[in-house]
Amino acid sequence: MAAESVLNLAGLTRRFVSGGETIRVLDGLDLEVSAGERVAIMGASGSGKSTLLHLAAGMDRPDEGRVVVVGHDMAETPEPRRTRLRAAAIGLVFQDFNLIDSLTVAENIELPMWLNRRPIDDEATHRLTRELGIDGLLERLPGELSGGEQQRVAIARALIHEPRLLLADEPTGALDQVTAAGVLDLFDQVTAGRDCALVMVTHNPDAARICDRTLWLQQGRLEAG
């Protein structure tokens, strides 16, 4: 039995206008990712990797093509339903962490549960934070944490609501080499045991080692690495 498709990008095209010139960043791109599959996307700076991730998350709309997440076409789904779908089905991990400075670690992690109007499961929070090695930091503020600790909090926040699709944009880009290696090992452990698809945009060849496939974004399309 074939694995369920969690993300399907078909004929994806995105154009931007710069200095009066139209730039085709994505050019009829196709990608299908199944449940439990982990895919790394690499490419030069400015190749459109972050644009691809924003489209997959429904944070931007394509000029042409389809973005289907767990059976829903994000490009055709109107707001606020698209926002609700993103909050329920997608976890996001950013290079700059995007933690809220005024909230404690526990509150940052549980934010998706509040947004989804789901009850807070303290045991689930503690189980996940123990897995990530941050269970002793729950009452601290983000400003009191190291970069590696903040990224672990961001990963916990992305996983707490058990998303079907996890999108990571340069998750080790703001970390030193040693800290990045440790975060990648944890990222590997926590995603391997969950039935969600991972798409990770990265410049780091070491980050690709935890993935099943590595694809290169060149001239607006994906090619096998």
Helix axes 147-159, 122-132, angle to 10 degrees: 140
**Domain range annotation of the chain:** 37-61+78-224
d(CA 127, CA 130): 5
Chain centroid to CA 106: 20
Which is nearest to 25 in space by CA: 165, 223, 225, 219? 219
Local structure of residue 95 (DSSP, 8 states) = T
Which is nearest to 60 in space by CA: 79, 42, 44? 79
pLDDT of residue 116: 82
Q: What is the pLDDT of residues 33-56, one digit of tens each?
A: 999 999 999 999 889 999 999 999
pLDDT of residue 2: 59
What is the pTM for the complete model shown?
Answer: 0.92
Sheet with 21-34, strands from edge to edge, namely 21-34, 5-18, 64-69, 72-73
pLDDT of residue 194: 79
pLDDT of residue 183: 83
Local structure of residue 162 (DSSP, 8 states) = -
Return the bridge partners of 217, or none: 222
Show the tokens assigned to 5. 């498709």
Show the tokens assigned to 37. 């599959």
Q: What is the pLDDT of residues 5-41, one digit of tens each?
A: 999 999 999 999 988 899 999 999 999 999 999 999 9
Q: Report the CATH number of the 37-61+78-224 domain.
A: 3.40.50.300
Q: What is the mean pLDDT of the chain?
A: 90
Give the largest Cα separation in the chain, rounded.
Answer: 55
What is the percent of the chain with per-residue pLDDT over 90, rounded to a whole number?
Answer: 60
Chain centroid to CA 47: 18
Segments of the chain scoring below 70 in pLDDT: 1-2, 225
Question: Beta-carbon neighbour count of residue 129 at 10 Å?
Answer: 21
